[in-house]
Chain A
Amino acid sequence: MLTSVQDLGRWGYQSSGVPVAGAMDLPALRLGNTMVGNPENAAALEVTLMGPEIEIKGGGAAVFAGAELGFSVNGKEVGSWNVVLLNDGDVITFKGPRGKGCRGNLCFAGGIDVVPVMGSRSTYTRAKIGGFEGRALKNGDVVKVGEPSPLWKRTGGFNIPEELRLTQDPEAPLALMTGLQEDAFTEEGKKLLFESEYTITAESDRMGCRLEGPKIGHTEKGADIVSDAIPLGAVQIPGHGMPIIMLADRQTTGGYTKIGVLSPLSIEALVQKMPGNKVRFRKAVVQEGADEQKRIKDAVRRVKELYASYVSRPEVKAAAAAAAPLSTHFRLTVEGKSYDITCEEIS
């Protein structure tokens, strides 16, 4: 259970040794932000497994974009991918994972309003950079929400069809685009990687997903290299022969051999898995990854169109106009056993 402020990541500072960080499920964040009228890179609360309890001060709109974690308002389950309007005193809770994925992004209209550090609101906890005081949220925190889109009152009830959510089949093998130091591995080792089942271990976190399974052998070149860049989704295999998939909080550079990089939607599938879950790999080419990025961009564009059409429906406009005017200054409070966030707005 971990809740932190994340956007699309801190790009542009890797040459200063600053990790990108950002949301683990990037497509979900882009879609969720679009659903509440935010720019794609607005900051949200990344929720993992058991979510926090949040008390709302003021009002606003929110959507939970990602796995089904039982997102509820005042005890009533709203579910993922449904925009809900929030009123003063409302309490958000999460009833727990439903066996389909373990994380998502709680996107508020207006985005989480923390001071950007090096151009990003993402939290990188290891160096205490960005987000809310550089750390995960804890009980009693008061978090502000930014100025929402003027149309936010019309977003209540908006949802998007299944195929636009880009939810991946958890059984499908992960698409691994080979490259980088692929020639540092034995033919036998590469064959094993693509033919075997691997188990996600409990040491996995936002930095990397560690796998256990048949050992991948290196050639006489060995497992160590002179440090070079680590892209998102790089499959790094150190001397112990067990793959580690490098995720949001990965270091910018590293000295272990990498056999390739996972495709963007395979990364999405992986970050929804939990320790103990199994994964398989299949060989893919770079074009497949590029096509997936286009597919994500197209889905975001279509959601933008659906949003625009939803907020201009006469009945939606009428309902929003009839609703009691909510304060433009709103505030969010989170309370829970180990968490408590209060979100306070703005201006």
Chain B
Amino acid sequence: MSVYIEEPRYLTAGESCVVAEFADEIDRGANDAVMELKRYMTGQSEIPIIECLPTYRSLAVYFDPTVVSADDVVRVARKAPISVKSDAAAAMTEISIPVCYGGEYGPDIANVAEHAGISEEEVIKRHSSRACHCYMIGFMPGFAYLGGMDESIATPRLTNPRTVIKGGSVGIAGKQTGIYPIDSPGGWQLIGRTPLRLFTPEASRPTLIEAGYEVRFVPVSEEEYKKIEAEVAAGTYKPLITEAK
């Protein structure tokens, strides 16, 4: 397993896609490099591209091979000034996600507290104490792969997955934390729920969290949860997003 930000690998991925790979493991610096390359490729006007898909450690660039060639894409990508170094986190856009922890919103918080040998209040404190990095969106529409959770609250998945989990539920699976964007089955330990809509298909930007964002969970009371929920339903809620400088 290694990181090769300075010498990315350009992988052949059929005639309509090139993958620029910065590591073969999960690495924050490699992910930051992916985001830098994505910004460069979507901002450049030298060649037309269809879309860029950032993942943990690579950027897939999709293009029309009757207009540009894979070689063109690699040539342009090589011009991108990649400034990040391995494991040196770049300044990122931060989004605050209000979460009502415990109770009916987070029925498994007691499991997490028991597994960590701490109180439920301490679970909330540790879960919301540091921002998590969104490495990529995948698995299902709007699902953010988050890294950087306090490992002291890591808890194995439920042995019996639930058949339905409400969209907005915040869970823990091993060292990972995440938010279910839409109602779906799943086996994560649910510790809370956000009233925000993570995935809105009809919106111009369908996902609230984007790859490369820092995600900060902010504990709110049930009363605040319901207030925000009503604002979201009315379309008046503005999520707190701090843009990177």
CB pair B14 A177 closer than 8 Å: yes
Whether, in the assembled complex, B81 has its beta carbon less than 8 Å from a beta carbon of chain A, the answer is: no
Whether, in the assembled complex, A129 has its beta carbon less than 8 Å from a beta carbon of chain B, the answer is: yes
CB pair A16 B206 closer than 8 Å: yes
- Rounded to whole angstroms, the CA-CA distance of A97 and B223 in the bound complex is 60
Among B18-26, B85-93, B120-128, the one that faces the other chain is B18-26
Residue of B nearest to A298 (CB): B66
- Rounded to whole angstroms, the CA-CA distance of A231 and B19 in the bound complex is 10
Residue of A nearest to B15 (CB): A289
Partner of A234, one of B14, B58, B70, B145: B14
CB pair B14 A17 closer than 8 Å: no
- Rounded to whole angstroms, the CA-CA distance of A229 and B57 in the bound complex is 10
- Chain A residues closer than 8 Å to B50, beta-carbon distance: 11-12
Whether, in the assembled complex, A215 has its beta carbon less than 8 Å from a beta carbon of chain B, the answer is: no
Total count of chain B residues near the partner, CB < 8 A: 48
CB pair B136 A227 closer than 8 Å: yes
CB pair B210 A15 closer than 8 Å: yes
Distance from A109 Cβ to chain B, minimum over Cβ atoms (Å) = 26
CB pair B56 A252 closer than 8 Å: no
- Chain A residues closer than 8 Å to B142, beta-carbon distance: 16-17
Residue of A nearest to B21 (CB): A228
CB pair A180 B136 closer than 8 Å: no
Residue of A nearest to B52 (CB): A15
Whether, in the assembled complex, A155 has its beta carbon less than 8 Å from a beta carbon of chain B, the answer is: no
Whether, in the assembled complex, A179 has its beta carbon less than 8 Å from a beta carbon of chain B, the answer is: yes
Whether, in the assembled complex, A297 has its beta carbon less than 8 Å from a beta carbon of chain B, the answer is: yes
CB pair A226 B57 closer than 8 Å: yes
Distance from B199 Cβ to chain A, minimum over Cβ atoms (Å) = 8
Question: Known: A228-B56, A293-B66, A294-B66. Contact between A117 and B13, CB under 8 A?
Answer: no
Question: Known: A251-B138, A253-B139. Contact between A286 and B24, CB under 8 A?
Answer: no
CB pair A228 B58 closer than 8 Å: yes
Chain A residues numbered 124-161 whose CB sits less than 8 Å from any CB in chain B: 127, 129-130
What is the interface of chain B mostly: helix, strand, loop, or mixed?
A: loop
Partner of B66, one of A13, A127, A286, A290: A290
What is the interface of chain A mostly: helix, strand, loop, or mixed?
A: mixed
Chain B residues numbered 11-57 whose CB sits less than 8 Å from any CB in chain A: 11-17, 19, 21, 23-26, 38, 50-57
Whether, in the assembled complex, B202 has its beta carbon less than 8 Å from a beta carbon of chain A, the answer is: yes
Whether, in the assembled complex, A260 has its beta carbon less than 8 Å from a beta carbon of chain B, the answer is: yes
Whether, in the assembled complex, A56 has its beta carbon less than 8 Å from a beta carbon of chain B, the answer is: no
Whether, in the assembled complex, B234 has its beta carbon less than 8 Å from a beta carbon of chain A, the answer is: no
- Rounded to whole angstroms, the CA-CA distance of A227 and B50 in the bound complex is 21
Partner of B15, one of A16, A17, A290: A290
CB pair B60 A226 closer than 8 Å: no
Whether, in the assembled complex, A172 has its beta carbon less than 8 Å from a beta carbon of chain B, the answer is: no
- Rounded to whole angstroms, the CA-CA distance of A339 and B148 in the bound complex is 50
Whether, in the assembled complex, B182 has its beta carbon less than 8 Å from a beta carbon of chain A, the answer is: yes
Distance from B59 Cβ to chain A, minimum over Cβ atoms (Å) = 8
- Chain B residues closer than 8 Å to A227, beta-carbon distance: 55-56, 136, 138, 145
CB pair B51 A17 closer than 8 Å: no
- Rounded to whole angstroms, the CA-CA distance of A163 and B77 in the bound complex is 38
CB pair A225 B24 closer than 8 Å: yes
- Rounded to whole angstroms, the CA-CA distance of A297 and B206 in the bound complex is 31
Partner of A17, one of B17, B65, B66, B141: B141
Whether, in the assembled complex, A328 has its beta carbon less than 8 Å from a beta carbon of chain B, the answer is: no
Partner of B55, one of A117, A253, A261, A292: A253
- Chain B residues closer than 8 Å to A15, beta-carbon distance: 38, 51-54, 137, 210-211
8 A-B residue pairs with CB within 8 Å: A13-B206, A14-B51, A179-B13, A226-B56, A228-B57, A229-B13, A286-B15, A290-B66
